[in-house]
Amino acid sequence: MNCQSAGQLRLTLTDHNLLGQDFACLTPSVVGIVDHHVDQTDPLHATLSQERDIVVPLGSATTLVAERYLGFTPLPSLGAAEFDPSSLLDAAVGNLIIGTILIDTANLDPKMGRTEPRDVRAVETIVNSLKAGGDQFGLNTLEERTELFQYLQDIKFDLSRLTSAELLRKDYKVWQAVPGGQRYGISSVTMSLAEWTEKDKDLAETLANYMNEQKLAILVIMTSHTGGENKTFRREAAVIAAPGFEPLLTHTIVAITQPLTLKAMEYPSALHPTQRDIRFFTQTDVKLSRKQFQPAIHTAIQGFTATSSSTRL
């Protein structure tokens, strides 16, 4: 059932390709997808013929947006007079696009494994376009782009003003592995688990409350931070089960440990929420982000659900 009564809403999804359960009633309004995650498209999406651009792998979904501004990808027909999208690419828009791509791709650093040639082409083409137009703020040099990246990184990792609940919500997504099934969520937090527990002595209670509020069977927390004298980039993960879902957690951990390069780690018992089963891991391959975690977890939960259903039969 469509929850927008006038029937005139048109949605294009970007940086994801499947509406969450809370917005499922808007599915008939989806007319396009511009994304770089594993395709989990709902077959009920109504008129995807207008625009469906799911590119995997790709460092940043913003690269696909940039390609529309640059004319690399034609815009869908909107029933209006055709126009040159590059006319909208001024310094403000260009720098917003560049900054987002730099953050998503770790400054286009190939060693981080998050950059594809299309990401590089988008940034370089926008820079050249702004430079040709006489713009003096187009991040013309590598040094200027690196300075912007570091500035944005510093802001991204400054979490001093946020509460634990706000950290969980800041970069959070939720899914269902099967229609009508249990919900699982993934929060990305740019802080080490050690720093977080030091900052919030009541973190266990916050995690339990958050899972209850979000009605989650499983909560995954992915942390990222730099540490040590060499400022090495590191990732950790905590996987938590709501009461009654411990078997689902065990199945999921077994399924994802090897493909996601997880190594079990011990942690202070103070972080173990009451009536919550929680596991902690370091991530050996730091190149793997939520784009890789989510499909693996999704498949694991689907497998557990299918096995449980067969057993009941």
Model confidence pLDDT, tens digit, residues 214-238: 999 999 999 998 876 777 889 999 9
pLDDT score of 38: 81
What are the structural domain ranges in the chain?
Answer: 11-157, 164-312
Question: What is the predicted pLDDT for the residue at 275?
Answer: 56
Q: How confident is the model at residue 156 (pLDDT cuts 50, 70, 90)?
A: confident
Which pLDDT band holds residue 136 (cuts at 50, 70, 90)?
A: low
What are the tens digits of pLDDT across the range 241-284? 999 999 999 999 999 999 999 999 987 666 765 557 889 999 99
**Mean pLDDT (the chain, rounded):** 84
Please give the pLDDT value at position 232: 86
Specify whether domain 11-157 bears CATH 3.20.20.20. Answer: no
Rounded Cα distance between 56 and 54, Å, is: 7
Per-residue confidence band for 164, with pLDDT thresholds at 50, 70 and 90: very high
Q: Read off the amino acid at residue 109.
A: D
Pick 310 or 147 by higher pLDDT.
Answer: 147
Residue 139 has pLDDT above 80, yes or no: no
The conformation of residue 78, written as its DSSP 8-state character, comes to -
Collapse the DSSP code of 240 into the 3-class scheme (helix H, G, I; strand E, B; otherwise coil) and give the result. Answer: strand
Give the chain's end-to-end CA distance (angstroms, integer). Answer: 31
Q: What percent of the chain has pLDDT over 90?
A: 41
CATH architecture of 164-312: Roll (3.10)
Q: Which residue has the higher pLDDT, 47 or 174?
A: 174
* Location of structure tokens 């190939």: 110
Token pair in block for residue 182: 């249990």
Q: What is the DSSP letter of 74?
A: P
Give the global pTM. Answer: 0.69
What's the rounded Cα separation, in Å, for the pair 243 and 177?
19
Q: Which amino acid is present at 165?
A: A
pLDDT tens, 50-92? 677 888 889 999 999 999 889 888 776 654 556 677 788 888 8
The pLDDT-based confidence of 313 (bands split at 50, 70, 90) is very low
The burial of 165, by beta-carbon neighbours within 10 Å (0-12 exposed, 13-18 middle, 19 or more buried), is given as middle
* pLDDT at residue 47, rounded to an integer: 55
Residue 184 has pLDDT above 90, yes or no: yes
Phi, psi angles (nearest 5°) of residue 241:
-110, 140
One-letter amino acid at 130 equals: L
